[in-house]
């Protein structure tokens, strides 16, 4: 079952008009929210970021937070009980094709649930490979915009190279992954690039930094140079659908010992414990 503009219906019966501005211009924003055993994870944070994205494209939020919460609860209840992720998608609605905003048009609101397959133990034990590429996206990467063509092309480079992710560099600095945030470890310090217009403010990124702060893991938020990335002892990626994954090869070269490192193992354990605690308390 999916949600579209006020109705729950089977996905096969869901259609949008061809003049929807999401289809024509990619004029919209989205969210991806993991749901563990029917419990949406960090929901308030995801809804706050949705508001930030809507503000960024000057689109009024069609619903209050409590309405979003109840729609999300219904959608989760109507889908299978296992782990899933919710995709929320809001566009500026349907109108005659003209770049400027249309007047008096209702936004299109779409939500769907998909089974969530988090990375298995094997990937956490062996780690994954990544490549690098120049970050050729726009100047508002903090908006979770549905116009994802650069991310699609950059992510495909990783797939073509039989790796998990493309790590992006802009002006000689690490920004993020094509669909993830990136952390590195150097001299036993966890380093994260600052949240600004160059990257998506990841919900998992924030949680990792919260866990690091609460557990006395030395960390610093600052610009990370390409050299620092390439000579890091550890590299890891985070996202709502991948959680936290160690990157052990970069552009074919080993990262540190080419095995998941101690900081990754500690953060992953803290993340899994946090998740278990939240789910127990529901």
Site string for ligand PDD, 62-101 (x = CB under 6 A): ----------------------------------------
Verify binding: residue 53, ligand PDD, rule CB under 6 A.
no
DSSP secondary structure letter of residue 188: T
Verify binding: residue 113, ligand PDD, rule CB under 6 A.
no
Q: Could you give the CA distance from residue 276 to residue 272 in angstroms, rounded to a whole number?
A: 6
Nearer to ligand PDD, 193 or 260 (CB): 193
> At closest approach, how far in Å is the CB of 68 from ligand PDD?
16
> At closest approach, how far in Å is the CB of 42 from ligand PDD?
8
Instruction: Compute CA 72 distance to the chain's CA centroid, rounded to the nearest angstrom.
Output: 18
Verify binding: residue 181, ligand PDD, rule CB under 6 A.
yes
Q: Could you give the CA distance from residue 6 to residue 108 in angstroms, rounded to a whole number?
A: 10
Residue from 53, 108, 132, 204 touching ligand PDD (CB under 6 A): that is 204
Verify binding: residue 202, ligand PDD, rule CB under 6 A.
yes
Q: Could you give the CA distance from residue 56 to residue 239 in angstroms, rounded to a whole number?
A: 21
Q: Which stretch binds ligand PDD (CB under 6 A): 108-116, 195-203, 210-218, 220-228?
A: 195-203
> At closest approach, how far in Å is the CB of 115 from ligand PDD?
14
Near ligand PDD in 237-276, by CB under 6 A = 238-241
State the CB neighbour count (10 A cutoff) for residue 139. 8
Verify binding: residue 32, ligand PDD, rule CB under 6 A.
yes
Measured in residues, the chain has a length of: 282
Q: Which stretch binds ligand PDD (CB under 6 A): 20-28, 53-61, 125-133, 233-241?
A: 233-241
Residue from 91, 132, 180, 268 touching ligand PDD (CB under 6 A): that is 180
Nearer to ligand PDD, 169 or 259 (CB): 169
**E-assigned strand segments in the chain:** 2-4, 7-9, 28-36, 39-40, 84-91, 108-115, 128-134, 165-170, 173-177, 181-186, 189-192, 219-221, 234-239, 243-250, 253-254
Verify binding: residue 176, ligand PDD, rule CB under 6 A.
yes
Q: Could you give the CA distance from residue 22 to residue 89 in angstroms, rounded to a whole number?
A: 9
Beta-bridge mates of residue 247: 128, 235
State the CB neighbour count (10 A cutoff) for residue 191. 22
> At closest approach, how far in Å is the CB of 202 from ligand PDD?
3
Catalytic residues: 144
Edge-to-edge order in the sheet of strand 28-36: 7-9, 2-4, 108-115, 84-91, 28-36, 39-40
**Contact residues for ligand PDD, defined by CB under 6 A:** 32, 151, 176, 179-181, 200, 202-205, 238-241
């Amino acid at each position: 079952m999916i949600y579209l503009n006020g109705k729950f219906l089977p996905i096969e019966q869901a259609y949008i008009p061809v003049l929807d501005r999401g289809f024509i211009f990619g004029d919209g924003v989205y969210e991806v929210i993991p749901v563990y055993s029917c419990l949406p994870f960090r929901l308030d944070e995801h809804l706050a970021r949705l508001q930030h994205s809507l503000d960024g494209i000057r689109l009024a939020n069609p619903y209050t937070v409590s309405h979003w919460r109840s729609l999300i609860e219904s959608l989760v209840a109507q889908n299978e009980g296992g782990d899933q992720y919710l995709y929320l998608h809001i566009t500026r609605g349907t109108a005659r094709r003209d770049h400027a905003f249309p007047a008096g048009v209702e936004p299109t609101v779409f939500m769907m649930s998909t089974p969530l397959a988090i990375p298995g133990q094997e990937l956490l034990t062996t780690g994954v490979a990544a490549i690098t590429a120049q970050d050729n996206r726009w100047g508002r990467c903090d908006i979770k915009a549905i116009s994802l063509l650069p991310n699609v092309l950059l992510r495909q480079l990783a797939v073509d190279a039989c790796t998990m992710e493309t790590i992006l560099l802009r002006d000689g600095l690490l920004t993020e992954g094509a669909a993830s945030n990136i952390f590195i470890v150097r001299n036993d310090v966890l380093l994260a690039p600052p949240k600004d217009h160059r990257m998506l403010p990841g919900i998992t990124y924030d949680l990792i930094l919260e866990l690091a702060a609460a557990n006395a893991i030395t960390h610093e938020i600052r610009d990370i140079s390409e050299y620092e990335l390439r000579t890091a002892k550890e590299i890891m990626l985070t996202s709502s659908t991948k959680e936290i994954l160690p990157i052990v090869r970069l552009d074919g070269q080993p990262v540190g010992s080419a095995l998941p490192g101690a900081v990754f193992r500690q953060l992953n354990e803290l993340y899994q414990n946090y998740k278990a605690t939240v789910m127990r308390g529901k």
